[in-house]
Amino acid sequence: MPELPEVETVVRDLRPMLVGRRLSAVRRSPHPLRVRWSPEWESRLLSRSVRGIRRRGKWILIDLEPDHLLVVHLGMTGQLTVVPAGDPLADHVHLQFDLDNGEFQLRYRDIRRFGSAVLYADEQAWTTARDEDLGPEPFDLQPGPFRESLSRTERCLKAILLDQRVVAGVGNIYADESLFMARLDPRGRGCDRTPRQAERLRKAIVAVLGKAIDSRGSTIRDYVGGSGLKGGYQHELAVYGRTGQPCPRCGQPVECIRLAGRSTHWCPRCQRS
């Protein structure tokens, strides 16, 4: 599933290709996404210009004039790209937005259809409709509040990092990588962390995500950026997806266990409780 670095890469790629462009037509496939596209949205979208595009957690927010907001979630296999309209239409393209005179298109492709694209009247309407509140962005995490988030729960560290109310945008890949960099056992309880350990983890989250963004994210299966290019951070992963391979730090085989319903990769020597 695309996580923060992948979504941020899509946003950065699309920004120069979308901002200032006008949405002139919409086409949709007969196959529904996780949230079914409403035909009523089409009349509200047409002829609106894109004021900006940004990321919040794992969500892509496309600001339309005057206040409308097109919110895209890539789900597990979603791809959002701008391409020449004459490019062959790939399988599983479910939404096509003509830009300006139709020379280019914004296309949403999703093999498993777990993603979504929803139009809201404004950002407040999206905030009200969300299933859960989003926590701070990782790069905005403050030491005190983050330490407090850990200290007041008995959940394991892996579960805490996956909780979007604690920190927005971190998913399975970067939770494992951050815990490895911080040398913390993913099974350890949040309330047992010392202030020094909490700060080590906070800094590791920021460092790992920053490096991943610089590498355009990780292409494990289907992910591509907004320009269609793949990510490169998968070649730098220390533990995620490396079960049985030697730990890059100590040589101990990387192990995989199940935590918070997700596969969790860790080094039992470097990340001892």
Q: How far apart are CA 15 and CA 17, in angstroms?
A: 5
CA-to-CA dists, residue 207 to 27, 159, 182, 237, 256, angstroms: 40, 20, 10, 13, 23
Q: Please list the active-site residues.
A: 2-3, 58, 262
| Rg (the chain; Cα; Å) | 20
What residue has token string 């005179």?
A: 101
- Rounded distance between C-alpha atoms, residue 161 and residue 170, angstroms: 7
Instruction: Please tell me the distance from the alpha carbon of residue 46 to that of residue 185, in angstroms, as a whole number.
Output: 51
Nearest to 110 by CA among 60, 159, 149, 150: 60
Strand partners, 262: 259
